[in-house]
Amino acid sequence: MWQPYPLQQIDALIRLSRDIVARYGIPPTRVVGHSDIAPQRKIDPGPLFPWRTLYDAGVGAWPDDATVAAHLAGRDPKSPADVGALQAKLKRYGSDGVPDDATRRVFSAFQMHFRPSDYSGNTDAESDAIAQALLDKYSPN
């Protein structure tokens, strides 16, 4: 179902995105995908979209690896996390959802963006650590 994005397409997207955020004064960390905005209806750009590459080019948000590791605090990344606490973090970061299939799609969209190796929608320690690292970096209050 998912196809890798061609390098030429990503290079063009980076140039276009940089131009748009500069021209309209959009904070680069506010660049998101369809699934980030409407996880109940949209699945694109999907888990193969190179969000880290965009971030490295100055467009988008990405958690610091060291901060994620610190928040994992030795926990198994796949160990269960508190659903309500993770929901609260995602809501504070800008996502929303309720504890049902809709929430699973919200978690999956978050994972596709920030941890595409596993976008099962499970509330796990690694997703929790990533969410907290993003909050630490972009919304410290």
Does residue 107 lie within any of the structural domains?
yes
Give the CATH number of the domain where residue 130 resides: 1.10.101.10
- What is the reported pTM? 0.75
Does residue 54 lie within any of the structural domains?
yes
pLDDT, tens digit only, all 141 positions of the chain: 889 999 999 999 999 999 999 999 999 999 999 888 888 888 899 999 999 999 999 999 999 999 999 999 999 999 998 888 888 888 888 876 555 778 888 889 999 999 999 999 988 999 999 999 999 999 887
Q: Which pLDDT does position 1 carry in this prediction? A: 83
Euclidean distance between CA atoms 135 and 115, whole angstroms = 16
Does residue 2 lie within any of the structural domains?
no
Q: What is the DSSP letter of 124?
A: B
Among all chains, which residue has been given the structure tokens 């976008």?
119
Collapsed DSSP state (helix, strand, coil) of residue 80: strand
Euclidean distance between CA atoms 25 and 28, whole angstroms = 9
Q: In Å, how far are 27, 102, 106 from 24, measured between CA atoms? A: 9, 33, 28
Residue 59, burial from CB neighbour count under 10 angstroms (0-12, 13-18, 19+): buried
Euclidean distance between CA atoms 90 and 5, whole angstroms = 27
